Amino acid sequence: MNLFLQQLINGLAWGGIYALIAIGYTMVYGVMQLINFAHGDVFMVGAFVGLVIAQLLPDKTSPLSVFLVFLSAMFFSTLLGILIERLGYRSLWRKNAPRLSLLIVAVAISLLLENSGLLLFGAAPRSFPEIIPSKSYFVGSIIFTNLQLIIILSCLLLMGILHLIVMHTKMGRAMRAVAEDSEMSALLGVPRERVLSFTFALGSALAGIAGVMVALYAPQINPLMGLLPGLKAFIAAVLGGIGSIPGAMVGGFVLGEAETLVSAYLSSSYRDLLAFLVLILVLLLRPQGLLGKGVVEKL
Amino acid sequence: MLRVEEIEVFYDSIQALRNVSFEVKEGEIFALLGANGAGKTTTLKTISGLIIPRRGRIYFQEEDITFLPIQERVKRGISQVPEGRRVFSKLTVEENLLLGGYIRERGIKKNLEAVFSLFPILKERLHQPAGTLSGGEQQMLSIARALMTEPRLLLLDEPSLGLAPLLVRDIFHYIKEINEEGVTILLVEQNAHMALQIANRAALLQRGEVVLQGKAEDLRDMESIKSAYLGG
Amino acid sequence: MNWKKLLLLAIPLFLWLINYPISNPRLFNPYALQIIILMGVNAILALSWDLVAGVTGQFSIGHAGFMAIGAYSSAFLTLNYHFPFLPAILFATLLSAAAGFVVGIPTLRLRGDYLAIATLGFGEIVRVAILNAKSLGAATGLKGIPILSSFFSVYLALAIALWLCLALLKSQPGRILLAIREDELAAQMMGIDVVKYKVFAFSLSACLAGIGGALYAHWTSFIHPDSFTFMKSIEIILMGVVGGMGTIYGAAAGGMIITLLPEGLRLLLEQNPVLSQNKEFIRMLFFASLLLIFILLRPQGIFGKKEGV
């Protein structure tokens, strides 16, 4: 029982990280029905920006440094997200191009980012400086670290902030309107392109933060690190019901926990298989996801 | 106020509008009549900017708006209430209305009060998701939302569709009221009988072409309209 | 017998006749042969993808999975049980087709992006499964596969695949596939069993990818799960897109071009020691830019005439 509880706690941090990335996928899907495959790489860029900034700072462990590392990762990934939308997707979106074309662009951007990263930083993993010195806490026989605590709490905080933005600001309202009926929003004068930009910015900011979190938790990074967590976060979004923000959160935590439990009780080599099996099962049995109500494109 | 000049619209290679011209004058109710597929909705979409015509021009208050983005047209005072109401069902009534006021920086409170005095029921439903409203209420919300954009010209696409006869009467009554407040109205209707009762002038579309145009009372008396659209 | 049919028979004869000189390292540059063979294999793969994506309008991003199944199943037989090449290929073809059938089943319910993700999931599952299968070499890969592919077998397979696809497009089922691409709902309204045809397209496409995989494995003599990653699927997509989706000849040509271009690039890069170290990354950057340029500026590909996809 204690082992089980321990695993649940270990899974929670990964779950939160998946959830943060999944939110970006689901929001973009909501407003433009696009699987933004480059999103996982935005997360990678966030981690590398964090690395560069952390290496530049003299006093790495001061709270100000930690704050600066997260802030700069967030800033640059936001910028990148906006650029991707502007240069990659917008012209196709305007032309009402087939979704196939958008998907291919997404894949191409992802390749560009990954291989630029490989060219700049090489393929070998780089260790991330320990900007938050690790401490462990015991509750009975269960261990958890300050890092796990920080990750989980920041995830919850960020989700709270996101909830406020989406539910209680003018732009958030416009986002939900565009997601539900894009044409109707346009007829009311809602600037859809600005909404798209904002959505990419918001999702990318969260991905950038998640990137630094993974970098701290892992604690090493490489230019291909966005690939698998990106796909898994996407699966988490599908699991929760793509297009639904609470769904992405739930899906992220469920997948994080399930993965941790599978590696603990079965074998860690099944860990990566699990996500894809979950994907196929969800698509076959409940394509609208756990929390999704909307009708999925079906025959 | 609105001048549509010889517009031609194609869907792929199929022509939907041929040489459509008409003019809507300030302050009037102009009805666009015709059977299903005659091109009424296409005409409205071309005016609101969802479709760009292959040929022809559209002028709004003497300004050429043919290629203007939708948002700019809304800012200039053109607002469309599309067919099928299209309320944001997951958003509350209030949020729907606020979206209507998205482009207006000021006067949102005043506009809200104005639509509540026209449709008091919406005030009662304010925090309900729009999807839980009845069909008639959704139609009111859809119109109210369009009014929040402060239109000078309101484009109404089949506002009576799918509503019970009593409700239809109400909706037409509201349209008349809105018009009396100074909003010019372009009304698309299959229900020619009702439309011609409140309209000042009207045009009849057939297979993408304007075949008749004139004062509403003249059209009402025409044998061809009577037999084809007024059921008698 | 008219001359057209005669020509059809002349192709295998011609391939067979030049096979000997071209395969002889004293008469023909082995490096050039290597590229020519990979061009043929990739043309088959591009054709396979085009059948599903270009012709039927169903997006697959997991074609490396079908290729892996063909490669591993045939290599398993020739390596462990000394199967002759032809039966091994036939077995690989059947197994890939079965996989295509299984992946086609989700099309019963899924369309568009969801199908794409499902194929991605499939491709990854195949790869991770192989990575965990000891009898298939797991993470060390399969070594010492007999070199049974030749110029003759690869280009005969390509010729047959081309003929098959062209014949299909002219036939009733082919026209139905095109109708599904244009408007799935309308096709369904006309009483077409859309699901049946989509599963058919997937199975046939998987067949071709499986043959491509088998030919590949028996040429390189070494296969590894890393040869069949998501990136490989992307490479296959690139070939189809550059050639022109739905064009058959164009897709096959796209496969050849995308094989040839990076080789030229490689020759250039290898002259510079710094660039040469990173040539794989530069190659992928080049691929990605090409893909972007084509989709954004010429979505119909080099050989396509129709606007858009």
| pLDDT tens digits, one per residue of C8-21 | 788 888 888 888 88
Q: Which of A180, A186, A189 is closest, CB to CB, to B88?
A: A180
* Assigned domain for C6 exists: no
Question: Distance (Å, rounded) from C-alpha A37 to C-alpha A41?
Answer: 8
Identify from A95, A166, A180, A188 which residue to disrupt to test chain B contact, counting B C-beta atoms within 10 A and taking the largest count: A188
Q: Which of A224-238, B61-75, B101-115, C1-15 has the lowest mean pLDDT?
A: C1-15
- Chain A, nearest residue to B85 by Cα: A184
Q: Is residue C7 part of a domain?
A: no
Contact A188 B74 (CB under 8 A): yes
**For residue C111, what pLDDT is reported?**
62
Who among B82, B95, B98 is closest to A187 (CB)? B82
Is B157 a member of any domain? Answer: no
| Whether A174 and B79 lie within 8 Å, measured CB to CB | no
Do the bridges between strand B153-157 and strand B184-189 make them parallel or antiparallel, or are there none, so unpaired? Answer: parallel
Percent of chain A whose predicted confidence (pLDDT) is above 90: 59
Query: What's B189's domain CATH number?
Result: 3.40.50.300
| CB-neighbour burial class of residue A50 (10 A; exposed 0-12, middle 13-18, buried 19+) | buried
> Which residues are within 8 A (CB) of B229 and not within 5 positions of it... i.e. 6 or more apart?
B33, B35, B192, B193, B204
Spell out which residues of chain B touch residue A184, defining contact as CB-CB under 8 Å.
Answer: 82, 86, 88
Each residue's pLDDT tens digit, A40-69? 999 999 999 999 999 998 888 888 999 999
- Which of A98, A116, A118 faces C308 most closely, judged by CB atoms? A98
Residues of chain A contacting residue B74, judged by C-beta atoms under 8 Å apart:
187-189
Instruction: Tell me how many residue pairs between chain A and chain C have CB atoms under 8 A apart.
Output: 129
ipTM: 0.91
Mean pLDDT of C238-258: 89
Determine the residue of chain B that is closest to A194 in CA distance: B71
Q: Please name the helix (run of DSSP H) or strand (run of DSSP E) that holds residue C52, with its range, or none.
A: none
**Of B114, B135, B150, which residue constitutes the final position of a domain?**
B150
Q: Same structural domain for residues B124 and B192? A: no
Q: How far is CA C61 from the centre of its chain?
A: 12
Cβ B37 vs Cβ B91: under 8 Å: no
Query: Contact, B82 vs B36, CB < 8 A?
Result: no
> Is the minimum CB–CB distance between A193 and chain B shorter than 8 Å?
no
Q: Do A287 and C114 touch (CB under 8 A)?
A: yes
- Residue B229 pLDDT class (50, 70, 90 cuts): low
Average pLDDT score over chain A: 89
Which residues of A are less than 8 Å from B146 in CB distance? 188
Domains and CATH numbers, chain A: 2-122+129-285 (1.10.3470)
Q: Which two tokens stand for residue C267?
A: 């020759």
Residue B35: pLDDT band (50, 70, 90) is: confident
What's the pLDDT at C305?
63
The CA distances from residue B85 to A52, B88, B130, in Å, are 53, 9, 11
Cβ-nearest to A103 among C106, C113, C125: C113
Asked whether residue B166 is domain-assigned, the answer is: no
* pLDDT tens per residue across span A175-226: 999 999 999 999 999 999 999 999 999 999 999 999 999 999 988 899 999 9
Is the same domain home to B109 and B41?
no
CB contact at 8 A, A7 and A261: yes
CA-closest candidate to residue A252, choices A25, A68, A2: A25
Q: Compute the distance between CA of residue C156 and CA of residue B131 in angstroms, rounded to an integer.
A: 61
**Phi, psi of C202, deg, nearest 5:** -65, -45
Residue that finishes a domain, picked among B90, B119, B150: B150
Tens of pLDDT, residue by residue over A142-176, are: 888 999 999 999 999 999 999 999 999 999 999 99
Confidence check: pLDDT of C299 > 50: yes
Q: When comparing pLDDT for C3 and A4, which is higher?
A: A4
Using 50, 70 and 90 to split pLDDT, how confident is the model at A273? confident
- pLDDT tier at C2, thresholds 50, 70, 90: confident
Model confidence band, residue C1 (pLDDT cutoffs 50, 70, 90) = low
Do B35 and B144 lie in one domain? The reply is: no
Number of Cβ within a 10 Å radius of residue A153: 11
The two structure tokens encoding residue A86? 């502007």
Q: Is A173 on the interface with B (CB under 8 A)?
A: yes
**Whole-angstrom distance, CA of residue B71 vs CA of residue B73:** 5
The span from the CA of B127 to the CA of B76, in Å, is 30
- Say if A41 is an interface residue toward chain C (CB within 8 Å): no
In this structure, is residue C211 part of a structural domain?
yes
In a domain, C2, yes or no: no
Asked if B100 lies within 8 A of A188 by C-beta distance, the reply is yes
Chain A residues with CB-CB distance to C195 below 8 A = 299
Q: Which of A38-52, B147-161, C268-282 shows the lowest per-residue confidence on average (mean pLDDT)?
A: C268-282
| Contact (CB<8Å) A111/C125 | no
Which of C238, C253, C223 shows the shortest CA–CA distance to C283? C238
Model confidence at C309: pLDDT above 70: no
Least-confidence region, from B25-34, C151-160, C260-269: C260-269
Task: Say if B18 falls within a structural domain.
Answer: yes
Among residues C126, C120, C121, which one has the least CA distance to residue C61?
C120
Residue-range definition of the domain harbouring residue C203? 30-297
pLDDT of residue B232: 42
pLDDT, position C51: 93
The predicted pLDDT at position A142 comes to 87
Contact A266/C at CB under 8 A: no
Confidence of residue A295 (pLDDT cuts 50, 70, 90): very low
Q: Taking CB atoms and an 8 Å limit, are A101 and C108 in contact across chains?
A: no
Query: Which of B150, B165, B191 is the last residue in one of the domains?
Result: B150
Judge if B72 and B88 occupy the same domain.
Answer: no
Residue C1 lies in a domain: no
| Mean pLDDT over each residue of chain B, to the nearest integer | 90
Domain presence at residue B168: no
Interface partners of chain B (CB pairs < 8 Å, 3 or more) are A
A33, A100, A104 ranked by CB distance to C291: nearest: A104
Tell me the shortest Cα–Cα distance from A256 to chain C, in angstroms. Answer: 18
How many domains does chain C divide into?
1
Cα–Cα separations (whole angstroms), residue C201 to B163, C48, C49, C53, C115: 46, 10, 10, 10, 14
Residues of C in contact with A235 (CB under 8 A): 121
Burial of B36 (0-12, 13-18, 19+ CB in 10 A): exposed
Q: How many domains is chain B built from?
A: 2
B55 belongs to a structural domain: yes
> What is the b/e burial string over C58-93, where b = at least 16 CB atoms within 10 angstroms of the residue's CB?
bbbbbbbbbbbbbbbbbbbbbbeeebebeebbebbb
DSSP calls for A161-224: HHHHHHHHSHHHHHHHHHHH-HHHHHHTT--HHHHHHHHHHHHHHHHHHHHHHHHHHS-EE-TT
Q: Residue A193 and residue A252: Cα distance in Å, rounded?
A: 28
Enter the tokens of residue A120: 């700049």
Burial class (CB in 10 A: 0-12, 13-18, 19+), A90: middle
Q: pLDDT over 70 for what percent of chain C?
A: 96
The burial class, CB within 10 Å (0-12 / 13-18 / 19+), for B224 is exposed
* pLDDT score at A285: 82
- Tokens (6 digits) for C57: 């309008």
Residues B2 and B71 in one domain: yes
Q: Which of C121, C291, C299 sits opposite A108 (nearest CB)?
A: C291
**Residue B128: closest CA among B94, B97, B102:** B94
What average pLDDT is seen over chain C? 87
Interchain contact, C128 vs A272, CB within 8 Å: yes
Residues B50 and B120 in one domain: no
Asked if the structure places residue C151 within a domain, the reply is yes
Q: What is the pLDDT of residues B97-124, one digit of tens each?
A: 999 999 988 889 999 999 999 999 999 9
Mutate to test the interface with C, among A26, A92, A103, A111 (most CBs of C within 10 A): A111
The amino acid occupying position A23 is I
Cβ–Cβ contact B149 with A under 8 A: yes
pLDDT at A18 over 90: yes
CB contact A176 to B (< 8 Å): yes
Q: Do B1 and B71 fall within a single domain? A: yes
- Give residue C41's Cα distance to chain centre: 7
CB contact under 8 A, C114 and A283: yes
Give the amino acid at C128. V
**Average pLDDT score over residue span A23-47:** 92
Q: Would you say residue C186 lies in a domain?
A: yes
Say yes or no: B79 contacts chain A, CB-CB below 8 A.
Answer: yes
* C106 has pLDDT over 60: yes
Do B88 and A186 make contact, defined as CB atoms within 8 angstroms?
A: no
**A neighbours by CB contacts (3+ pairs under 8 Å):** B, C
Cβ-nearest to C128 among A33, A109, A273: A273
Q: Is B183 within the bounds of a domain? A: yes
Of B80, B91, B95, the CB nearest to A187: B80
Domain enclosing residue B206, as ranges:
1-77+173-232
- Bond from prior residue into A219 cis (ω within 30 degrees of 0): yes
Instruction: Tell whether A295 is within 8 A of chain B (Cβ).
Output: no
Give the integer Cα–Cα distance in Å for A119 and A107: 18
Q: What is the pTM of this model?
A: 0.86
User: Residue B158: inside a domain, yes or no?
Assistant: no
Q: Are residues B36 and B64 in the same domain?
A: yes
Judging contact as 3 or more Cβ pairs under 8 Å, the answer for C and B is no
CATH number, domain of C90, equals 1.10.3470.10
Q: Over range C197-226, report the average pLDDT.
A: 94
**The pLDDT of residue A297:** 40
Distance from CA of A187 to the nearest CA of B (A): 6
Task: Give the residue among A118, A106, A221 at the shortest CA–CA distance from C282.
Answer: A118
The reply to whether B124 and B230 lie within a common domain is: no
Does a structural domain hold residue C10?
no
Is residue B69 domain-shared with residue B15, that is, in the same domain?
yes
Collect all residues of chain A within an 8 Å Cβ-Cβ radius of residue B48. Answer: 187
C307 pLDDT band (50/70/90 cuts)? very low
Q: Which residues of A touch B103 (CB under 8 A)?
A: 188-190
Segment 96-135 of chain B within 8 Å of chain A by CB: 98-100, 102-103
Q: Are B73 and B122 members of one domain?
A: no
One domain for residues B108 and B73: no
Per the CB < 8 Å rule, is C118 touching A114?
no
Q: Is residue B167 part of a domain?
A: no
How high is the pLDDT of residue A298?
A: 34
Is residue A35 within 8 angstroms of chain C, CB to CB? yes
Percentage of chain C beyond pLDDT 90 is: 38
Q: Do the Cβ atoms of B99 and B91 come closer than 8 Å?
A: yes
